[in-house]
Structure 1
């Protein structure tokens, strides 16, 4: 049991998806340039999702990033899909990062035993501190595939097998990544909450009206496992970048007082 303060998030609201992506990319680029300048290399974890498209497009165009010095990871991967499937998260990210970044992209391998791959990928992440985590949140408030009620900042693992909520699987269909629910895998390897929070700086890009309620709860509700995105408020350096649609519910009266909670 420990106290977790409810910090006021740094929220940047943009009029359009493209503008939100550009603002998020500017912040991410600043973190990468600083890490490269100070240590000669940068380590970053990327989410693979439509909400990240505008940010990644803008980030690839940011000046002054030596992508050959950027060591990239991704935060989750479906089990049961081949690694070259167009909806494989590693494949999605590989197609969107600059070509110069690809030799240092570490992909989660879905074609080996999950426990062995979880241990292998955790070892890669542990080799040096993570400078930057670029992420979004799901309609049900998940981060990576840390689903409601199953996730905690006290998780002892770095990477684990997750069972996907039906809401998370339906989101993949609603975002037209799969044509029907039966096509969406039921399990994935995911970085855990503490793995995501280990990054020195977090850039959270959230797009669309379908995320508005989850954003409002994450920003203004209790910090607990019912909404894993609420754990982002425990991090000292997280910036939220929203388009107007994703920010639409923030003007509503909060449903919970802003106090410290016990976890």
Structure 2
């Protein structure tokens, strides 16, 4: 059937419209895909950086309240001392366990002027921490406090620089506060160095006495003995 010119024009017009709709749909889909699927976020290097806030932490040290116990006490002169009750540590004069003290560093409680702390030389050997003790027929002595110590040790003999040293003989004896001998007496001569070692456990005081038993010079009545590096331990 032949179409008129007017009918053919109408068909061409309606045929073009679907193609426009198809093109519009494709464009809309393309724009949506680019907007939702292809978005990128760009951060520029010169953008301002966030500030960081630092909070300082303060350490608080607790101050013990009066009456709290501690391992160390304080004396009246504000100097710290180890331990608490003196009675628990054996009293203020008790030495620390294993401590050693030289007699030359301690005061003579009782004794003549011939008991002096000074270096001595016995048979050409020098002893820096020593006691020089006079020696005569009646015996000269020196008393020391020994509370808390258990042993006295020394090198003894007649001093090399003493007058009446050649040929003289004497003895050194240690006794307790009551005068009772402790240990064996040690015989001394100018030609020898002898060992003195006495157990003084439980003794608050000891008396060290030197007696001249023989004089090398009949006109002389005494000489000087030495307790070389005499020490309490």
Q: TM-score range by the shorter chain?
A: under 0.3
The structure with the larger Rg is 2
Question: Relative to total residues, which structure has the larger helix share, 1 or 2?
Answer: 1
What is the TM-score when the length of structure 1 is the normalising length?
0.20
Higher relative contact order (CA 8 A, sep 6+): 1
Question: Relative to total residues, which structure has the larger strand share, 1 or 2?
Answer: 2
